[in-house]
Amino acid sequence: MPITIKDIARQAGVSVATVSYVVNKTRWVSPELTERVLKAIEQQGYSPNAVARSLRQNRTKTIGLIVPDSSNPFFAEIAKGVEDAGFEAGYSVILCNSNASLDRELVYLDLLQSKRVEGIIFIAATTQVNQIRPIVNSGIPVVIFYRDIPGLEVDTFRIDNFKAGYLATRHLIELGHRNIACIQPASPETASGERVEGYKRALDEAGLTWKDQLMPRGDNRVSGGKAAAQQLVDSGLPFSAIFSANDAMAIGAMRTLRDLGYEIPQNVSIVGVDDIILASYTEPPLTTVTQPKYEAGCQAIEFLIDRIEGRSTQGPRNVELEIQLTTRGTSIPYTATSELRRISK
């Protein structure tokens, strides 16, 4: 039996309306009454019931954030941006991990709608995002990350994955590498599949060819990178550099190669994509293609709030996040030792 507005009104000897008005400073109230109200609030430790307010005003000041895995540093950065900028604007965020499960995405989408969040930031785990349609049609603003939903009026944030792959590969080519392997994502349908296309294009333009045996697939995690690197070595083909479709796999590959006696970058150069936090802390630090994460999170919720508060009513905006090559320690010019193989220890 928590304290309600009535209790305060009673003690202060005013109407509930007056209490509401002083709490919200939403109309002029005489100093005397104001003081009596504030005193009563203070004394009783009154905390206005936001649930009731939300029902009445039809505003929850809450948004939902759906990510595949909030403990993945990449998404954690985005989430932090969302939370920070949301806080500034007076919005709370409900954190939802889909764990890359479509089912769970659906459950959460329903839940968020039911809780009447005023907007949703959706980082879908698969390209199959049509599930979002009913929500969008119901009129609640949505921002989608890294996915394209043709024919849907939503703001989207994404990077040019093709360009990312292209930039990374081009960098290796400019360093003089000719035999450049590629660690691909498990499924070409994933967003980072396009990164591989960028890789191919860069090779093409340089008059180089790509070979299936030098393009093993991984599961997008560190473990997948390890397995892929093993395949690469097992193929027996020469290579002096690797483009990995993401940092996690690049890091896995680094570990395996080192375990097999290769030195990085002396024997093989590696470039990733994403610039996850781990990338700065490998030894040597990983050269990668950076994209904004925290900032993207901030911007996403700002877009959302713009729509929520009716500040932006035009058609969908598609933001292309800026990417850039961050040269660190894993990529060096091709030299005679680049393809040297150490004896396995």
Partner DNA sequence: CTGTTAGCGCTTTCAA
Partner DNA sequence: TTGAAAGCGCTAACAG
Report the interface residues with DNA, using CB under 7 A: 1-2, 4-6, 13-18, 20-21, 23-24, 26-30, 32-33, 48-49, 52-53, 55-58
d(CA 113, CA 226): 41
- Is residue 259 at the binding interface for its own copies, with CB under 8 A as the rule? no
b/e map of 195-208 (b: 16 or more CB within 10 Å)? bbebbbbbbeebee
**17: helix, strand or coil:** helix
Q: Pick the closer one to DNA by CB: 107 or 277.
A: 107
Tokens (6 digits) for 324: 């850039």
Least distance in Å: CB of 258 to its own copies? Answer: 8
Interaction with its own copies in 284-303: which residues (CB under 8 A)? 294
- Is residue 17 at the binding interface for its own copies, with CB under 8 A as the rule? no
Tokens (6 digits) for 75: 């998404």
d(CA 238, CA 299): 44
82 burial (CB, 10 Å; 0-12 / 13-18 / 19+) is buried
- Is residue 71 at the binding interface for its own copies, with CB under 8 A as the rule? yes
Q: Pick the closer one to its own copies by CB: 155 or 247.
A: 247
Angstrom distances, CA of residue 206 to CA of 166, 169, 201, 213, 326: 11, 10, 9, 20, 22
- Is residue 2 at the binding interface for its own copies, with CB under 8 A as the rule? yes
Q: Which does 6 bind (CB under 5 to 8 A by kind): DNA, its own copies, none?
A: DNA
d(CA 289, CA 270): 12
Which of 7, 84, 197, 339 is the binder for its own copies (CB under 8 A)? 84
Q: Which does 24 bind (CB under 5 to 8 A by kind): DNA, its own copies, none?
A: DNA
- Is residue 281 at the binding interface for its own copies, with CB under 8 A as the rule? yes
Q: Count helices and strands (H / E) in the chain.
A: 13, 12
Query: Residue 322 half-sphere exposure, CB side, CA atoms within 13 Å?
Result: 4
Q: Which does 83 bind (CB under 5 to 8 A by kind): DNA, its own copies, none?
A: its own copies
Q: Pick the closer one to DNA by CB: 113 or 230.
A: 113
Tokens (6 digits) for 114: 């039911």
Radius of gyration of the chain (CA): 26
- Is residue 330 at the binding interface for its own copies, with CB under 8 A as the rule? no
Stretch that binds its own copies, among 48-56, 169-177, 200-208, 237-245 (CB under 8 A): 48-56
d(CA 5, CA 12): 11
- Is residue 115 at the binding interface for its own copies, with CB under 8 A as the rule? yes
* Phi then psi dihedrals of residue 115, to 5 deg: -75, 0
Q: Pick the closer one to its own copies by CB: 76 or 214.
A: 76
Q: Pick the closer one to DNA by CB: 34 or 127.
A: 34
Stretch that binds its own copies, among 6-14, 46-54, 236-244, 327-335 (CB under 8 A): 46-54
Q: Pick the closer one to DNA by CB: 51 or 336.
A: 51
Tokens (6 digits) for 146: 């890294």
Tokens (6 digits) for 79: 């989430």
84 burial (CB, 10 Å; 0-12 / 13-18 / 19+) is middle
Q: Which does 96 bind (CB under 5 to 8 A by kind): DNA, its own copies, none?
A: its own copies
Least distance in Å: CB of 93 to DNA? Answer: 21
d(CA 73, CA 71): 6
Q: Pick the closer one to DNA by CB: 6 or 342.
A: 6
Binding residues for its own copies, per CB under 8 A?
2, 45, 47-52, 54-55, 60, 62, 65, 69-71, 73, 76-77, 79-80, 83-84, 87, 92-97, 99, 104, 110-111, 113-116, 134, 138, 251, 258, 277-278, 281-283, 294
